[in-house]
């Protein structure tokens, strides 16, 4: 009999696929099954020991799976799936609709009567949130700043592709170096989102299209680009496919604070990610360890990353951590 933590994955999109990779790197865990709304036989799982199952069969796995990784989307999947699955299993999810978190927490907390459900896990919300809270607690007299990027923005890339004469294109959100330097100097400036970021577009134009008109239309597009410093680069379709097919992301949480008059202290956390979904999945898998351990301690109900001590996500023993990491 195995002593590994037995995991299930619900949803076989980018996050679910990333979770499979992350579990492979975790010797204390094993993947039991992947649940999908599609026909289960359509999933191409490499590992023959992992079952593909229809989501309606999830309840059959009670007692066979310790933690379910919920890898669906925040818009419609998770508000329904998390409470439903959390009534049967310990769960971890990446619910990221910031404004609806309190309401989501309530509904999951009511469902997780005898299970532990860690919600909104990932990097933002997730690691960034932890750093905002800790920096604020340590430096009460200060200001938090979050910068996103360099990252591919799906919404802005879609907006570019709707412009007439554009065949294809992507958009990167990039933190403004100027704004970051101001924040790192400890001057705690007032900055709008537009002042904190610039937008860089790589556009493939249709043959014979008017590039000046395209550039102008992008740069003046309200909400998406008009308020931002925007750069438009025209490239070939090959260049687009070669250089811009990954989903990099990342960002910075910086707090500038003063511990006494004029004594500045700068706290900074950052991520530079080749793959946003793979990293998010890696965070989910580490927090699955915490969900399992908290449930063993009968700490049931909905939790967030704020409720989880660092040792709970580590595979190392407390003795090892004190000896080698402190």
Residue of 31, 66, 67, 38 lying closest to 54 (CA atoms): 38
Q: Considering only residues 198, 244, 289, 293, which one is a binding residue for a second copy as defined by CB under 8 A?
A: 289
Minimum CB distance to a second copy, residue 225 (Å): 28
Nearer to a second copy, 3 or 212 (CB): 3
User: Which stretch, 78-86, 193-201, 226-234, 310-318, contacts a second copy (CB under 8 A)?
Assistant: 310-318
DSSP helix/strand/coil, 302:
strand
Q: Is residue 74 a contact residue for a second copy (CB under 8 A)?
A: no
d(CA 137, CA 25): 34
Distance CA 279, CA 19 (A): 9
Q: Which of 38, 54, 167, 323: binder of a second copy (CB under 8 A)?
A: 323
Judged by CB under 8 A, the residue of 162, 181, 272, 296 near a second copy is 272
d(CA 151, CA 319): 38
**Single residue of 138, 213, 226, 241 touching a second copy by CB under 8 A:** 138
- Residue 104 is encoded by which pair of tokens? 């989501």
Question: Which is closer to a second copy, CB of 1 or CB of 99?
Answer: 99
10 appears as a binding residue in the annotation: no
CA distances (Å), origin 210, targets 41, 205, 282: 48, 8, 44
Q: Could you give the angle at the alpha carbon of 176 between the alpha carbons of 174 and 177, nearest 5°? A: 115
Q: For strand 90-93 and strand 116-118, is the pairing parallel, antiparallel, or unpaired?
A: parallel
Q: Which of residues 204-243 bind a second copy (CB under 8 A)?
A: none
* Closer residue to a second copy (CB): 42 or 263: 263
Instruction: List 205's β-bridge partners, or say none.
Output: 166
Q: Is 77 marked within a binding site?
A: no
With contact defined as beta carbons under 8 Å apart, do 284 and 117 qualify?
Answer: no
Q: Per rule CB under 8 A, is residue 45 in the interface with a second copy?
A: no
Per-residue tokens: 161: 């592709």
Q: Figure out which of the listed residues 59, 113, 140, 211 binds a second copy, where binding follows CB under 8 A.
A: 140
Binder of a second copy out of 37, 73, 107, 136 (CB under 8 A): 136
Cis peptide upstream of residue 288 (ω within 30 degrees of 0): no
Tell me which stretch binds a second copy (CB under 8 A): 7-15, 72-80, 217-225, 254-262.
254-262
> Is 114 assigned a ligand-binding role in the annotation?
no
> Which of 9, 11, 26, 92 touches a second copy (CB under 8 A)?
26
Phi and psi at residue 10, to the nearest 5°: -110, 110
Among 44, 48, 263, 297, binds a second copy (CB under 8 A): 263
Identify residues 93-112 at the interface with a second copy (CB under 8 A): 98, 101-102, 105
User: What DSSP string runs through 244-258?
Assistant: S-S--EEEEEEEEEE
Calpha distance 234→242 (Å, rounded)? 14
Q: Rounded CA gap, 180 and 176, in Å? A: 6
Rg of the chain over CA atoms, in angstroms? Answer: 22
Interface ranges with a second copy (CB under 8 A): 18, 21-22, 25-26, 98, 101-102, 105, 120, 125, 127, 129-130, 132-134, 136-141, 184, 186, 250, 259-260, 262-275, 278-279, 281-283, 286, 289, 304-311, 313-316, 318-319, 321-323, 325-326
**Binding-site residue positions for NADP(+):** 12-15, 36-38, 71-74, 94-96, 121-125
Annotated binding site: 12-15, 36-38, 71-74, 94-96, 121-125, 148, 173, 199, 249, 276
């Amino acid at each position: 009999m195995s002593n590994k933590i037995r995991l299930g994955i619900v949803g076989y999109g980018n996050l679910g696929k990333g979770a499979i990779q992350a579990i492979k790197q975790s010797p204390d865990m094993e993947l039991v099954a992947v649940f999908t709304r599609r026909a289960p036989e359509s999933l191409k799982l490499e590992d023959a020991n992992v079952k593909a199952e229809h989501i309606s069969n999830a309840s059959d796995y009670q007692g066979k799976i310790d933690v379910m990784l919920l890898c669906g989307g925040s818009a419609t999947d998770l508000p329904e799936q998390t409470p439903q699955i959390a009534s049967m299993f310990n769960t971890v999810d990446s619910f990221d609709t910031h404004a609806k978190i309190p309401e989501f927490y309530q509904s999951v907390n009511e469902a997780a009567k005898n299970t532990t459900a860690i919600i909104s896990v990932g990097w933002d919300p997730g690691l960034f949130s932890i750093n905002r809270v800790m920096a604020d607690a340590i430096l009460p007299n200060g200001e938090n700043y979050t910068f996103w990027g360099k990252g591919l923005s799906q919404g802005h890339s879609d907006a570019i592709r709707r412009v007439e004469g554009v065949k294809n294109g992507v958009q990167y959100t990039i933190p403004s170096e100027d704004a970051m330097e101001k924040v790192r100097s400890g001057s705690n400036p007032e900055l709008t989102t537009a002042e904190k970021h610039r937008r860089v577009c790589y556009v493939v134009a249709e043959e014979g299209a008017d590039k000046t008109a395209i550039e102008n239309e992008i740069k003046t597009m309200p909400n998406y680009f008009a308020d931002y410093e925007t750069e438009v680069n025209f490239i070939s379709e090959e260049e687009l496919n070669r250089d811009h097919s990954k989903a990099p992301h990342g960002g910075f949480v910086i707090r500038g604070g003063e511990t006494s008059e004029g004594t500045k202290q700068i706290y900074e956390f950052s991520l530079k990610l080749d793959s946003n979904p793979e990293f998010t999945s890696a965070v989910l898998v580490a927090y699955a360890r915490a969900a399992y351990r908290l449930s063993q301690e009968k700490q049931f109900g909905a939790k967030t990353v704020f409720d989880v001590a660092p040792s709970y996500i580590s595979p190392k023993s407390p003795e090892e951590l004190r000896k080698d990491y402190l």
